[in-house]
Every structure is written in structure tokens, then in C-alpha cells.
A and B are shown apart, each in its own frame.
Chain A
Amino acid sequence: MTTTLPAYDEVVARYEPVIGLETHVELGTNTKMFCGCPTDFGGEPNTRVCPVCLGLPGSLPVANKAAIEATIRIGLALNCSIATWCRFARKNYFYPDMPKNFQISQYDEPLCVDGYLDVEVNGETVRIGIERVHLEEDTGKSLHVGGATGRIHGATESLVDYNRAGIPLVEIVTKPIAGTGALAPEVARAYVTELRDVLRGLGVSDVRMEEGSLRCDVNTSLNLPGQEWGTRTETKNVNSLRSVERAVRSEMLRQAAVLGAGGRITQETRHFHEDTGDTTPGRSKETATDYRYFPEPDLVPLAPDPDWVAQLKTALPELPRLHRRRLQQAWGLSEADMQSVLNAGAVELIEATVTAGATPAAARKWWLGELSRRANETGVELADVGATPAQVAELQGLVDAGKLNDKLARTVLEGVVAGEGSPTEIMTNRNLEVVSDTGALTTAVDEAIAANPVIADKVRSGKVAAAGALVGAVMKTTRGQADAQTVRTLILERLGVSA
């Protein structure tokens, strides 16, 4: 379809977007949701399986206490009410990734309901309602063979690995988010970012979107002001924070184009494509499966003890938003400066860099300057730009020790990003260290003086400012590796002028 998309400004001037997010989080428990198989990544296929997670006849599930506890803690951190009694349910549908051809999930009795998460967008607090937080089991993974690029479409066969089958999966569903207007895409991103930070702070998951331990589905609809909410679409496969924002924006534009042309929005699942930033239609909800939910008879109800829940609540870590307030003070940043740090997604990176030994100012300079620029250019998250906080701190240490000047440090950082090794290794391997050997420098200075007699005379006659040209000449011959201040001092010394 080659509809011309309207301008974003026009879309938000005409329509009000309503969004909603469903986030799946793989918990970082030692074992799976219903059996004692390990959850670690990277094993050979079908090496983390047992009769239970393979769904062999006769096997039975037993729920993992740590997963229940983690879910309750997530619910509490999101200000939810924790159910006093609830059950697991079976969601029935046939799919080879799912060993039993039903998924143990929660249906009308989720563990946590009715909470909220405050997020900040452009300095303003937006309260995102949380509908529910529930626990379920993940599926296995299929390798699609014979088709193009591993896609299911066109494949001649699939090969299934159940190592991931049964990993505890928490689903967090927002209430519909309305009234955010043009900011809807940013709100969506801010919510997922904040949620990710909350989950990381709780230590319940490694929340890595690129590895799929945090996955996001985005619901979007548009309506005319004062009218009922429009038909929503559900965009799946949104695998980075940046994509969350792009997916909402792209779907707003697409829907506006359809509506603008007099068309209707179909309630459907759409797939987001990281490369193009577009969504394409998937399964239409009109033909959606009836999942025939019913209470899981193999598991007894959960009735979390209120004392236990109260204990878990007391032990919750500081929320990221409050944590950030504290950092802002400690780093001595203005509201605007902190906002730019937030916008860059650099809080934790700077924090870690400071922990690794750099000053807050230096850490902020690298992450918001050189590294943010590179992240923007290459279209990746700042955290994935290729440099770690430890490396940045090491780099700054070399600058502070006088081994690198600012220009050389940038060169070394390029090497770090390119994966050439640690800053010290790169400095050494590429011979980038500041030349501090005054013998070698003196020779270079003398050569410069000899080559530029006119300028040398000017300096001798007291025009000290003219020394800059000689400094430049020396820097050129030393390929920038000399410390400019040292060179200047040497030149004045050789010309008998006091600095």
C-alpha cells in the first residue's frame, strides 16, 4: 500500500491518540515457572528440559515461589493491589512452541491489579494506570528452515527447541492512556523506560529488550476530539525503546492516513519492522481464536499471606524516579541538565561511570557529548553504543593523568567503540600517548624555531602571542601527541622570554 502519510503535526492537530502497552518480562529466576529446569541462556537445544516443560503425558506443574514473589514485588512497585486469592488458568491454542498446546497463564484473576506508574516527559509527570500484572509461562523457540531469512513464511519445516519453554513471564498491562496528544510516542517510550528501570531496580529481570527478556506490544487508536475512542490495533515485535516511540508514531500516521481517506481501522495485530519503522498487518482479530480459558486444575489457588506481602512492600528498593532526584542533587545538576541526561537515557551509564572513578562532570561530558552523538548517528541506544562505563572512566583517568589530551582521548574513544580494546590498550597499540619526553620535544621546538626565524624574532621582541604559530608547528610534527602547554613553555624558554 503506498498511501502518502500526512505530517505528524497535522495528525495530532486533528486526532487524539489513545495508547496502551502490554509488556512481557522474563523473570531472572534460577528455574522455570513450573519445574526445576535452569533458565540460563545459551545452552545447546533441548538441554534445559524435563517431562514438565516438555509437556510429556503425566507430568504436572508446581509453581516457583521466587516467581510468585517477584510478581508481587513488581505489583507493589507499580502501586497495585495484590490479590488475596487467585488462580492460574489455561489458555488453549495449538502451537508447536507450546509443549502442552495450552499456556498456563492468568485470566480473570491476575495476581496484581489496578496500579500506576508515574513517568516524566519533558519535565512533567504523567501517571500511567496499570490494569494488571500477571504471571504466565514462556514458549519454546522455533527455527524456521527453508524459507527466506528464518521467517515462518515460506519455510518448509521448523525445528523446535524447548529450552525457553516454561520460563516465568510477567505480563504488565496498562490502562488506556489518553490525553497525551502529540506526546503519545514519547509517553510510550518514557513508560517502557521507567518500567524497565523499575524492574531492573527490583532485580527481577535483566530486562534486555534485544535478547527478548523485555518485550512490548503497543496498542494505538485515534479519535476525533469529543468522540468515542477509535478502533485499536496491536503492534507486536517492538524490541527497543526507540522502536516503542517509532511504532506509536508510525501507527498514528498510518491510521490518520486511512481515516483521512475515509477508510476504517481494522482491529488487528500488526508487526513492527525495525528496519523500515513501518508496521504490517498480522492476524485479524475478527478471526481470533477463542482461547477457552478455564481454571488450571493441576495448580491450586494462590492466596498470598498479607503479612508476607507487607514484608515484601517494606523491602522494596527506592523507585528509580526518586533515585534520580537524589542523583541530580549529588551531581549538582540543574533541572534542565538532568532532563538532558534523562532524555539521552544516560542516568545509569553516568552513575556507573562515576562509580568506576570518574567525576560526575566528566562522565556526563562523555556520555552526553561524543557518545550520544555516535548513538544518534548509528541509530542505537546509548547503552549499546559500544563503550562501557568502566571504559569511559578509564579513558577519563588517562586524561586526568596527562597521558591523553582531549583530542587524543576522542581518537581513543573511537577505538573503544570500534571494539579495539580498552582505552589503555588502544592508546598503547596506536601510539597515541602524549609526548612528555622533553628531549624529543626540545628537538621539535628547535626545529620549529629554525624553520620560522621571522616568527621567532617577533616572540623574542616580546610579541608572546606570536608563539601560537610555533606551537602549531610543533603539534603538527608531533602529530598532536604533545601537550600544547608544555610546548608553549619550552618555546618561550628557548627564546629567552619569560612566560
Chain B
Amino acid sequence: MTDVTALTATQIAGLVATGGASAVEVTQAHLDRIAAVDGRINAFLHVDTEGALAAARDIDARRAAGEELGPLAGVPVAVKDVLTTKGVPTTVGSKILQGWRPPYDSTIVQRLRAAGTVMLGKTNMDEFAMGSSTEYSAYGPSRNPWDTDRIPGGSGGGSAAALAAYEAPLAIGSDTGGSIRQPGAVTGTVGAKPTYGGTSRYGLVAFSSSLDTPGPCARTVLDAALLHAAIGGHDPRDSTSIPAPVPDVVAAAQLGATGDLSGVRLGIVTEFGGEGAEPGVTAAFDEAVDTLTKLGAEIVEISCPHFRYALPAYYLIAPSECSSNLARFDGVRFGLRTGDDGNRSLEEVMSLTREAGFGPEVKRRIILGTYALSSGYYDAYYGQAQKVRTLITRDFTAAFERVDALISPTTPFVAFPLGARTSDPYQMYLADLFTIPSNLYGGPGISVPCGLSDGLPVGLQVMAPTLADDRMYRVAAALESAVGTFTPPAL
């Protein structure tokens, strides 16, 4: 039998559906691969061997019984540790939730199960999804399969690394400022942030509620689209979930794969030009733009004058919401409790617990957010950031009157060496320079590999209007059909 870990999700699903391989065989092959390589990658925080094999056996039994199974039945998936999984540890990459086994499943995980996928385990991430390298994980960084001395991006570096290391064909991420797209870019994989409200946040441990968006990660655009279709759609348990059908992203990916973009107008954001992407990244992007032109797309320059305020606005809104969202981690109902010696007061125990349980980046953002929401500063910081959000949305709306989608490099730089940006938090923040505007606006964005720079992957981002997720899949699939997929050196 061929090595199933080298196959795409689409191929695996076909194999399982036609009896070419059992779900158990597929699952076992991936578990073996994890056992073989994850010591060097650290993509997984928890491998649910028993649960995965049980789910695979169930799929095989249902197939044997002649049950109609979904298009992803029997395909293994890795889930970012930000989503609750009933009875399976969920840590959000933080010590404060070490050992917590949630009593309920997130909607995304329920839908993954309903689709017949097999959850392999939970992937590493920057603590509470705050970071761009997974170096802020309390459980050690994940490593980039292209070069294990480099970061796999973040916060969802574990999911991206698992894909690039062939430990899983599909993965779930969450994107608050670029946490799906940037890891996708630096690992040579595909990562899509759906329209905010297009995927349910129920059971997604909140970082910044108005920005957090769970989404699909894969090695191909079509696989990402299939996963997107499986997890997307309205959820009555999330008030911000949009009561509309998921755009037909699978059909759009298939259409794009024909390599024809004639009639499609793409905009390049003028303001991103001067923002200091690395020369190698710019070169790869420019080459991809030529490719898109050859595929028939029309390219225009578009000015989005307020995009330069996106990063500052984001670093006010996200920390503000996080300071409130993370207040519940107090050692009362779940998670860590430290310092309860029978003498200390609750306030002291809470403060010691949070001090011990949170890492430095989380603490910085909690303090920053507490400051930005304080009565004397609210208007100048949080209030003003929300107005910037309005202006950025207007920039997008105006741009989409002229073009079908916007394109940019996903991130200004390729995978950087571990430790290169941890001492200066603001340098780390710059990794999300190009991805943050979509989060503030709420529209979808996808990162697709477009080339290499010094042997390291570069991603191209496609940004589309809200609820037009299908458009970005078409463009991404077209580019993929022209440049192919990218495989890291053997581990």
C-alpha cells in the first residue's frame, strides 16, 4: 500500500470510500507518523490514540453497514488546542488549563465528528492564541518542518507544522489576527480564515471575541475548502453566527483549479508596498502576481489609506477583549490553583494562580487591555480603535467596489529562527501586518503557497468581501494549479 500520509484529504476520503484503505489503517498510519516525527516537531500537545482509533473503527463499521458517509469520512484531522473537546485535554497552550478535560464539545469538533473525520489530537499553539511563532506556548515551541531551527508561525503553528510534517492531512486553526494564515504561509501549507460569523465560536476558548474565527488548514486548497464546508454554517449557540448557508467554497476551489481567472479583478494594496516585506517575500509575491496575470486576472492597485492603523487598532481591541475574556481563569471552577495554603485570601490565591498560570505575553496583553479600557483612557484607546475599525471596513468596502478580491503577501517575512523576535514583542506583532485588516473588517482571507525564498515558503494572501469566501478559494486554487504544492525536505 502507498504511504497514505503523503495523500491529500480528498485522496484519503476516496480511498476509504472505495475500500482501498480502512479508516483504521489510515488513522494508524498517521499515528505512526506522529510517533516517528513529532519528537522533533512538537506539533501535538495531546495525541488521542484511543479516541482516534475508536472513531476510525466506528467509520469503518458504518461504511460496512452501508451507511452514507460524508465527503471527509475516515480522514484524520488535527485540532488546535483552542477548541474544547469533551473529556480530552484542552489547554490553549497554557499552564492555567493544564489537565483540564472539558465537559463539553465545541461546535466545530461536533461537526468534525458528524462529517466522519477522525480527530488525532490537539495541536500546539501560542498561549491563548497570542503570538506568531508558538514560542509563547507553555509546552515548548513547535518547529518548522522546513527547518526545525525555525518557527512554524503562530499562533496555530502546531496545526500548520502537523500538515507540513505529514502528521495529518487536515487541521483546524483559529485566526484572530492571522493565526491560521501566517503559519500556513511559513510552512508552505494552505490556511483559510472564513468570514467572521461563518464558523461557530462555541467552544473556541476566547482570545478576542469580535475577531476570533476558527477555520480550515490543509495542504491543498480543495482540501481546505472541503474542511471549510464541513465545519461552517450557522450555529444557534453562537449569537454572532451568520444565519446563511456557507458559500460553495468547494465548487469555487474546483473552478479555480481549472487555472482560468479571466474576468477576475484583483487589487494590490498600495499601502502594503512600503511596509517592509523582506525582499525575498516581495520577489516571490511579484512573481505570483505575474502568474495570476497569465491566468487571466486583471491586476489593479488599490489604496486603503487606513490599513496602516490596523495593527495599532488590533493591539488595542484584542488585548482589551482578552483582558475581560481571560478574567474567568481564576482557579475557582476549573484549571490551575496555586498558593491556597489555608491562610491566604481568595484575592491573593487568584493573583498567585494567574501569575503562575499565564505566560509573559498573556500578562502583557491583559495589562495592556485593562489599561485601554480604563475610564480615563477608553476614548483615546479602545474607543478610537473601534473607529479605526469602521474606517478600515470602509476601505475594504470601497476596494471591493472596484475589485473582486485583494491580494498581498501573507506575512512580511519567511519563517524566522526560534528566539529571533521574543525579546521585542512589537517585532513579533509585525508578523501579522498584512493579515490583521481582514480580522478587523470581518471578511475572509486565505494564504496559499506561492513560492520559495532561500528555500523557505512564501504565502500569498487573498482577501475577499464578507460572505464571499468562495472568491478567495477560486483565486487560491488557480494559483495553486499554476505553482503547485510545496513539500519540505524529508525529516
Q: Chain A residues in contact with chain B, CB under 8 A?
A: 51, 54-63, 90, 92, 94, 96, 99-102, 158, 160, 290, 292-294, 297-300
* Chain A contact residues: helix, strand, loop or mixed: loop
Complex Cα distance A297/B202, Å? 13
Complex Cα distance A432/B329, Å? 66
Complex Cα distance A339/B236, Å? 52
With a cutoff of 8 Å between Cβ atoms, the chain A residues found around residue B332 in the complex are 96, 160
Q: Tell me whether B327 and A92 are in contact (CB under 8 A).
A: yes
With a cutoff of 8 Å between Cβ atoms, the chain B residues found around residue A90 in the complex are 324
Q: Tell me whether A56 and B104 are in contact (CB under 8 A).
A: yes
Complex Cα distance A260/B323, Å? 46
- Can you list 11 residue pairs at the A/B interface with Cβ under 8 Å? A54-B333, A56-B333, A60-B237, A60-B239, A61-B239, A94-B350, A99-B328, A160-B332, A292-B373, A297-B209, A297-B321
Task: Give 1 or 0 for each of B284-324: 1 = CB within 8 Å of chain A CB.
Answer: 00000000000000000000000000000000000011011
Nearest chain A residue, comparing its CB with the CB of B330:
A101
Known contacts A51-B104, A57-B92, A62-B237; decide if A290 and B375 are in contact (CB<8 Å).
Answer: yes
- Check: B166 CB closer than 8 A to any chain A CB: no
Complex Cα distance A364/B334, Å? 57
- Check: B370 CB closer than 8 A to any chain A CB: yes
Q: Tell me whether A100 and B328 are in contact (CB under 8 A).
A: yes
Q: Tell me whether B327 and A299 are in contact (CB under 8 A).
A: no
Output the least CB separation between B202 and chain A (Å): 5
Q: Tell me whether A94 and B102 are in contact (CB under 8 A).
A: no
Q: Tell me whether B84 and A294 are in contact (CB under 8 A).
A: no
Which of B201, B209, B373 is close to A92, meaning CB atoms less than 8 Å apart? B373
Q: Using a Cβ–Cβ cut-off of 8 Å, how many residues does chain B contribute to the interface with A?
A: 44
Q: Tell me whether A57 and B237 are in contact (CB under 8 A).
A: no
Q: Tell me whether A292 and B236 are in contact (CB under 8 A).
A: no
Q: Tell me whether A58 and B203 are in contact (CB under 8 A).
A: yes
Q: Tell me whether A58 and B333 are in contact (CB under 8 A).
A: no
Known contacts A297-B210, A297-B321; decide if A59 and B375 are in contact (CB<8 Å).
Answer: no
Beta-carbon contacts under 8 Å, B181-223 to A:
201-206, 208-210
Nearest chain B residue, comparing its CB with the CB of A46:
B333
Known contacts A102-B327, A297-B209, A299-B239; decide if A58 and B321 are in contact (CB<8 Å).
Answer: no
Nearest chain A residue, comparing its CB with the CB of B82:
A58
- Check: B275 CB closer than 8 A to any chain A CB: no
Output the least CB separation between B192 and chain A (Å): 21
Q: Tell me whether A62 and B239 are in contact (CB under 8 A).
A: yes
Complex Cα distance A96/B349, Å? 12
Known: A54-B333, A56-B103, A57-B102. 13 other contacts (CB 8 A): A55-B333, A56-B84, A56-B102, A58-B202, A59-B104, A60-B239, A94-B327, A94-B347, A101-B330, A160-B332, A292-B375, A297-B209, A298-B239
Nearest chain A residue, comparing its CB with the CB of B369:
A292
Complex Cα distance A59/B106, Å? 8
Among all A-B residue pairs, the 4 with the closest Cβ atoms: A101-B327, A297-B209, A297-B210, A292-B373
With a cutoff of 8 Å between Cβ atoms, the chain A residues found around residue B321 in the complex are 294, 297
With a cutoff of 8 Å between Cβ atoms, the chain A residues found around residue B204 in the complex are 58
With a cutoff of 8 Å between Cβ atoms, the chain B residues found around residue A61 in the complex are 239
Nearest chain A residue, comparing its CB with the CB of B236:
A62
Complex Cα distance A294/B374, Å? 10
Which of A58, A62, A96, A102 is close to B84, meaning CB atoms less than 8 Å apart? A58
With a cutoff of 8 Å between Cβ atoms, the chain A residues found around residue B346 in the complex are 96, 158
Task: Give 1 or 0 for each of B238-269: 1 = CB within 8 Å of chain A CB.
Answer: 11100000000000000000000000000000
Output the least CB separation between A92 and chain B (Å): 5
Complex Cα distance A61/B210, Å? 14
Q: Tell me whether B328 and A101 are in contact (CB under 8 A).
A: yes
Which of A54, A58, A94, A290 is close to B206, meaning CB atoms less than 8 Å apart? A58
Output the least CB separation between A254 and chain B (Å): 30
Nearest chain B residue, comparing its CB with the CB of A160:
B332
Q: Tell me whether A102 and B324 are in contact (CB under 8 A).
A: yes
Output the least CB separation between A369 and chain B (Å): 53
